[in-house]
């Protein structure tokens, strides 16, 4: 499902964040040490190869809400933007840390003149953030950031389950209706 928001194409798909060859940058739902873990981080590090963690080690640790950028190595992209999302119930206020992840990722992408970027649903796996609450933060942050975006032309949201896909699609429909 796609939608154009102030000249930016917003796409919502079901898939694997480590297999998105049509975007320049993919976002990693990282841990503080930027190490290979489970979920998104595991998939990204596995596909990128060990050189990614080597670069990551020099940038770690990061704090909740922070984002850093690296090369993408064997991934079919140019860059990986690593964000540490909040642990739900621990890093409070969660919505502000989550908003920072998206805002900081967009700013890093803008700084590198990246035109296309894919996000997973940060914090909604191991970190326990309910996706129906997270999706509100994601799109509110995006709408609040639009005026700062010059270089990004496409933002893709890559969801892992049918249920999450539907939550994103429903939210996108609401925005498109106004």
> Counting contacts by CB under 6 A, is residue 65 touching ligand AR6?
no
Could you give the residue ranges of the DSSP H alpha helices within 1-130?
39-48, 50-57, 94-111
Q: Which of residues 64 and 176 has its CB atom nearest to ligand AR6 in the complex?
A: 64
14 in contact with ligand AR6 (CB under 6 A): no
Stretch 67-126 residues interacting with ligand AR6 (CB under 6 A)? 85, 120-126
Q: Confirm or reject binding of residue 13 to ligand AR6 (CB under 6 A).
A: no
HSE, side-chain direction, 13 A CA sphere, residue 139: 21
Contacts to ligand AR6 from residues 140-159, by CB under 6 A: 158
- Cβ 22 to ligand AR6 shortest distance, Å: 15
CA 128 – CA 112 distance, rounded (Å)? 31
CA distance 109 to 117: 8
- Residue showing tokens 């739900």: 88
Query: Which residues bind to ligand AR6, rule: CB under 6 A?
Result: 16-18, 29, 31, 37-41, 43, 85, 120-127, 158, 160, 164
């Amino acid at each position: 499902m796609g939608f154009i928001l102030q000249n930016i194409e917003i796409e919502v798909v079901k898939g694997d964040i480590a297999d998105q060859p049509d975007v320049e940058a993919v976002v990693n739902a990282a841990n503080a040490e930027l190490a290979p873990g489970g979920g998104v981080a595991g998939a990204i590090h596995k596909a990128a190869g060990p050189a990614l963690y080597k670069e990551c080690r020099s940038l770690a640790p990061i704090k909740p809400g922070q984002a850093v950028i690296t090369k993408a190595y064997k991934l079919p992209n140019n860059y990986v933007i690593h964000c540490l999302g909040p642990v739900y119930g621990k890093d409070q206020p969660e919505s502000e840390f989550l908003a920072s992840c998206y805002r900081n990722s967009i700013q890093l992408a803008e700084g590198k003149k990246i035109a296309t970027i894919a996000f997973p649903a940060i914090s909604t796996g191991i970190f326990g953030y309910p996706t129906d609450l997270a999706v509100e933060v994601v799109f509110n942050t995006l709408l609040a950031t639009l005026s700062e975006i010059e270089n990004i032309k496409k933002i893709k949201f890559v969801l892992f389950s049918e249920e999450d896909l539907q939550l994103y699609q429903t939210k996108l429909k609401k925005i498109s209706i106004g």
